[in-house]
Structure 1
């Protein structure tokens, strides 16, 4: 699946089958359900989940919590828009 197809899938009521927890989180976030998005990565280990956590807490407006998660992911805080960060995160995970 590429980014265009991923975005098109947002017209559905549920995410496509086979998405990783990180992609599920990004899908639910794009649908406007921050809580469901956060739940997808809340108990997931590793830097990938931490990176999505960082984005979600940045979007929430909790810079301190976002900073913690960027650090846990080993990533610098994103400097662009939330939309640009979402697209970058989604495209990178879809390419894996």
Structure 2
């Protein structure tokens, strides 16, 4: 799946089949389905990319203290740009253009 195909799939009612857990969580996060994305992030706390996602989700939620904790776990600085831009950056790390 390409980045464009992933973005285009955001209009579907369910996530495309075959996505990795990280991409599935990002798919839900991109549709503001916070709880579904968060459940996936919580199930994969051993991975720095999932911890980055977890940080993003708490920033999206407005819980900046919790977000800072997860950015530390992900070994990343707290993101200072917009939420959509960070989401796009995470998706781009997982898919070809």
Q: TM-score over 0.5 for the alignment?
A: yes
Provide the rounded CA distance (Å) in 1 between the counterparts of 2:68 and 2:2.
29
User: What's the counterpart of residue 69 of structure 1?
Assistant: 70
* TM-score, normalisation: structure 2: 0.92
**Alignment RMSD (CA, Å):** 1.0
Equivalent runs, 1:1-96 vs 2, <5 Å: 1-44=1-44, 45-95=46-96
Q: How far apart, in 2, do the equivalents of 1:93 and 1:29 lie?
A: 15
Shift of 1:32: 2.0
**Are the equivalent residues in 2 in contact too, given 1:50–1:70 (CA < 8 A)?**
yes
Q: Which runs of 4+ in 1 moved over 6 A?
A: none
Normalising to structure 1: TM-score of the pair?
A: 0.93
Map Cα deviations across residues 34-58 of structure 1 (whole Å, 9 max, x no partner): 0011011112121111010000001
Question: Number of paired residues?
Answer: 95
